[in-house]
């Protein structure tokens, strides 16, 4: 009961406590330089079927290549197969010159197997990775920009009308309910009546929840409130937010919930409460690709989850993960409630979203004004005193909380006005790029955007575009920094929505 009361308090004060990766506090740098490091990368997984995978720049396409169609014969003629992968910690992600993820490892194995099938020694056909946003993945395949999708793509009748699938890489999966540490426990599917369930936009879970709502209405119960939380988020991001108490429930494939449950320890994984059963997913191709499909289908049985190789790869991505902090500590609830008026005051003064500023401060200092980093950065917004006292900020004494917030917000405004205000970006991306500049320096971000344009990426989109180059050239810190703040911000927006609904309910009762 106490946990439920804490959850209600959490909604009332519009506040959260959500620390990801036990991130250390850093100082703000006005303009550090990118340090490029070039190194060969080798993954070494012990096992008879897995050896070293060497990544090189030519193994990856950022942006869109020329369109090309055709089956395996055309792929052999050009010498490479283009594979769409989601930019995700589960499937494919970048750290400097290193590449990780299930899709990365499995496709390297497939490259070896395909060349073996074709009797090519040395290999003549190579896998080229194309990290993209999930929302575009199907269209890019059918438009000829790629030959295959490898993303844990759910096999549905609707999708089978548009594309072909391989043999399932995973079968018999359930789409299950996962709850957070303070969400009311559920004993049966009917306990979901009237609850808010958050899912990623454009996911296959929406259809399952619509069917569930039809069933609930037929027996006289309230439907589930289906809430969309943004198309930038992947499955592990949703679980991370549930684990941190930022959202109460989500729907996720059981195997992914199991995979990440050993990382996110505060999840309530309801394996007995499924909105859909017998789910399968696999790799996908354009229609009329029978030879490519046949080659993949020879490979799939050797790496399915349940095989030695498949299990080894799944287990690999559970190692070296840090546990997240509980998002509902009383200290964090009180902290943001105390500082909220400052973020509102200076957010309004500089025309910035106070919720996003609050999320930034939580990432920087966990809303602890007494925080001082090893580099000497101070307070809520983690600025160096010299940076704050000198132009362009000119605010001394940032050991004072109000001055600290004022200085941090003023610096964000400076970054936006001087580096991003004239760019063709939406409001969210303007702020995301300013956050990246706050963390990694505006000069670095400017260089990354120039390179993005040269490579055919969208230089005005941070997620799935410029962030990939940031991970490659700078490292994971700015990528994780912006990602964390975006998650906190989405959580604050959820809480703001709850507050509006609660206030409307109070007015209606008067």
Identify the structural domains of the chain with CATH numbers, from first to last. 2-22+326-509 (1.10.530.10), 41-170+281-316 (3.40.190.10), 172-280 (3.40.190.10)
Band of pLDDT at residue 415, cut at 50, 70 and 90: very high
Q: Is 499 helix (H, G, I), strand (E, B) or coil?
A: helix
Band of pLDDT at residue 50, cut at 50, 70 and 90: very low
Residue 24 gets which letter from DSSP?
P
First to last CA, the chain: 28
Residue bearing the bigger pLDDT, 273 or 495: 273
Residue bearing the bigger pLDDT, 324 or 217: 217
Provide the pLDDT for residue 56: 53
Which one of 364, 370, 451, 454 is the catalytic residue?
A: 364
Q: How many CA atoms lie within 13 A of 276 on its CB side?
A: 21
Q: Is the pLDDT of residue 285 over 90?
A: yes
- Contacts of residue 163, Cβ cutoff 8 Å, sequence gap at least 6: 138, 141, 142, 149, 284, 285, 286, 287
Provide the pLDDT for residue 163: 96
Q: How far apart are CA 114 and CA 433, in angstroms?
A: 41
Q: Is the pLDDT of residue 309 over 90?
A: no
Q: What is the mean pLDDT of residues 156-180?
A: 92
Phi, psi angle pair for 252, to nearest 5°: -150, 150
What pTM does this model have? 0.68
Band of pLDDT at residue 305, cut at 50, 70 and 90: low
Q: Are 469 and 448 in contact (CB under 8 A)?
A: yes
Encode pLDDT of 124-141 as tens digits: 899 989 988 888 899 999
- Contacts of residue 148, Cβ cutoff 8 Å, sequence gap at least 6: 81, 82, 83, 84, 141, 283, 284, 285, 292, 296
Q: What is the mean pLDDT of residues 456-468?
A: 90
Q: What is the mean pLDDT of residues 375-384?
A: 95
Provide the pLDDT for residue 328: 41
Band of pLDDT at residue 90, cut at 50, 70 and 90: confident
Band of pLDDT at residue 17, cut at 50, 70 and 90: very low
Instruction: Examine the residue annotation and report whether 58 is marked as an active-site residue of this protein.
Output: no
DSSP assignment of 469-496:
HHHHHT-HHHHHHHHHHHHHHHHHHHHH
Which of 30, 26, 23 shows the shortest CA–CA distance to 444?
30
Encode pLDDT of 251-270 as tens digits: 999 888 887 887 788 899 99
Mean pLDDT of the chain: 81
């Amino acid at each position: 009961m106490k946990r439920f009361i804490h959850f209600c308090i959490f909604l009332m004060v519009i506040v959260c406590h959500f620390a990801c990766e036990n991130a250390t506090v850093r100082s703000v740098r006005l303009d550090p330089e990118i340090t490029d490091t070039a190194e060969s990368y080798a993954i070494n997984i012990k096992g008879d079927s897995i050896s070293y995978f060497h990544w090189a720049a030519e193994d990856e396409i950022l942006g869109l290549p020329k369109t090309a169609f055709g089956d395996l014969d055309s792929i052999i003629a050009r010498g490479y197969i283009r594979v769409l992968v989601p930019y995700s910690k589960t499937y494919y992600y970048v750290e400097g010159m290193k590449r990780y993820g299930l899709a990365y490892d499995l496709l390297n194995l497939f490259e070896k197997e395909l060349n073996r099938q074709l009797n090519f020694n040395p290999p003549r056909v190579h896998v080229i990775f194309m990290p993209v946003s999930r929302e575009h993945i199907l269209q890019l395949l059918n438009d000829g920009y790629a030959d295959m999708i490898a993303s844990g793509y759910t096999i549905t009748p609707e999708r089978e009308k548009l594309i072909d699938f391989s043999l399932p890489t995973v079968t018999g999966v359930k789409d299950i309910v996962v709850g957070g540490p303070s969400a009311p426990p559920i004993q049966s599917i009917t306990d979901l009546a009237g609850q808010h369930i958050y899912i990623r936009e454009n996911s296959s879970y929406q259809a399952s929840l619509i069917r569930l709502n039809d069933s609930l209405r037929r027996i006289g119960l309230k439907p589930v409130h289906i809430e969309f939380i943004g198309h930038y988020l992947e499955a592990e991001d949703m679980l991370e937010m549930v684990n941190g108490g930022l959202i109460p429930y989500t729907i996720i494939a059981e195997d992914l919930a199991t995979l990440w449950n050993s990382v996110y320890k505060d999840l309530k994984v309801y394996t007995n409460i499924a909105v859909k059963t017998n789910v399968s997913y696999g790799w996908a191709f354009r229609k009329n690709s029978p030879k490519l499909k046949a080659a993949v289908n020879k490979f799939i049985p050797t790496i399915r989850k349940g095989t030695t190789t498949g299990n080894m790869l799944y287990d690999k991505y559970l190692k070296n993960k840090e546990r997240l902090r509980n998002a509902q500590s009383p200290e964090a609830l009180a902290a943001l409630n105390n500082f909220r008026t400052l973020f509102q005051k200076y957010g309004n003064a500089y025309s910035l979203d106070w919720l996003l500023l609050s999320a930034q401060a939580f990432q920087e200092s966990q809303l602890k004004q007494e925080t001082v980093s090893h580099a000497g950065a101070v307070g809520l917004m983690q600025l160096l005193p010299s940076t704050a006292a000198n132009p362009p900020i000119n605010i001394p004494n940032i050991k004072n909380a109000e001055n600290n917030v004022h200085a941090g917000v003023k610096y964000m405004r400076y970054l936006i006005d001087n580096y991003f205000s004239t760019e063709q970006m939406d409001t969210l991306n303007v702020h995301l790029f300013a956050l990246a500049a706050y963390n990694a320096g505006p000069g670095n971000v400017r260089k990354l955007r120039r390179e993005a344009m040269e490579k055919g990426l969208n230089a005005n989109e941070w997620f799935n575009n410029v962030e990939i180059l940031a991970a490659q050239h700078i490292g994971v810190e700015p990528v994780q920094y912006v990602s964390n703040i975006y998650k906190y911000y989405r959580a604050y927006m959820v809480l703001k929505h709850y507050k509006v609904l609660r206030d409307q309910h109070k007015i209606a009762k008067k």
